[in-house]
A and B are shown apart, each in its own frame.
Chain A
Amino acid sequence: MAAGPYNYSYIFKYIIIGDMGVGKSCLLHQFTEKKFMADCPHTIGVEFGTRIIEVSGQKIKLQIWDTAGQERFRAVTRSYYRGAAGALMVYDITRRSTYNHLSSWLTDARNLTNPNTVIFLIGNKSDLEAQRDVTYEEAKQFADENECSAKTGDNVEDAFLDTAKKIYQNIQDGSLDLNAAESGVQHKPATPRNPLNTDQTPSKEGCAC
Chain B
Amino acid sequence: MAAFRARLKEYEDILNEDVIDMKRFRKLCFNGCPFESGYRSICWKKQRELYRHFVEDLIVKPGTDAAEGAQVDDHIDKDCRRLCPDLFFFQRATDYPCKELINADSRVETLRKRVEQCLITSRRRASEEYMVLKDGQEAHWEVVERILFIYAKLNPGQEYAEADSFFCFTNLMGEIRDIFIKTLDLDSHCGSLMAKLMSMLKEKDEALWHRIEELGLKPQYFAFRWITLLLSQEFPLPDVLRIWDSLFAYEDRFHFLICICCAMLMLLRMEIIQGDFPTSMKLLQNFNNTKLDLQTVLSKAVEF
The interface of chain A, by Cβ under 8 A from chain B, is 1-2, 20-21, 38-42, 44-50, 63, 71-76, 79, 94-97, 131, 133, 196-201, 203, 208-209
Contact = CB atoms under 8 A, between A and B. Distances in A.
B124 A42 contact: no
Given A42-B79, A75-B186, A131 B124 contact: yes
A39 B159 CA distance: 26
B122 A75 contact: no
A47 B285 contact: yes
Best-surrounded residue of B159, B213, B228, B278 (most CB of chain A within 10 A): B278
A203 B216 contact: yes
B123 A95 contact: yes
A198 B280 CA distance: 13
Interface of B: 78-79, 82, 84-86, 122-124, 159-160, 163-164, 180, 182-183, 185-186, 213-216, 218, 220-221, 224-225, 228-229, 233, 274, 276-279, 281-282, 285
Contacts of B124: 94-95, 131, 133
Given A39-B85, A42-B163, A201-B215, A48 B221 contact: yes
A79 B186 contact: yes
Nearest to B190: A76
Contact of B278 (A94, A196, A199): A199
B276 A96 contact: no
Contacts, number: 97
B277 A44 contact: no
B276 A133 contact: no
A44 B160 CA distance: 14
A73 B82 CA distance: 17
Nearest to B79: A42
A200 B276 contact: yes
A48 B285 contact: yes
Contacts of A20: 78
Contacts of A209: 216, 277
28 contacts: A39-B86, A41-B164, A42-B79, A44-B228, A44-B229, A45-B220, A45-B224, A45-B225, A48-B221, A48-B278, A48-B281, A48-B285, A63-B278, A72-B160, A72-B182, A73-B185, A75-B183, A76-B185, A76-B186, A79-B220, A95-B123, A95-B124, A133-B124, A200-B215, A201-B215, A201-B216, A203-B214, A203-B216
A73 B181 CA distance: 9
A133 B122 contact: yes
A60 to B, nearest CB: 14
Closest 5 CB pairs of A and B: A208-B216, A39-B85, A45-B224, A72-B182, A44-B225
B224 A76 contact: yes
B276 A199 contact: yes
Contact of B122 (A49, A73, A96, A203): A96
Contact of A1 (B123, B185, B221, B278): B278
B220 A76 contact: yes
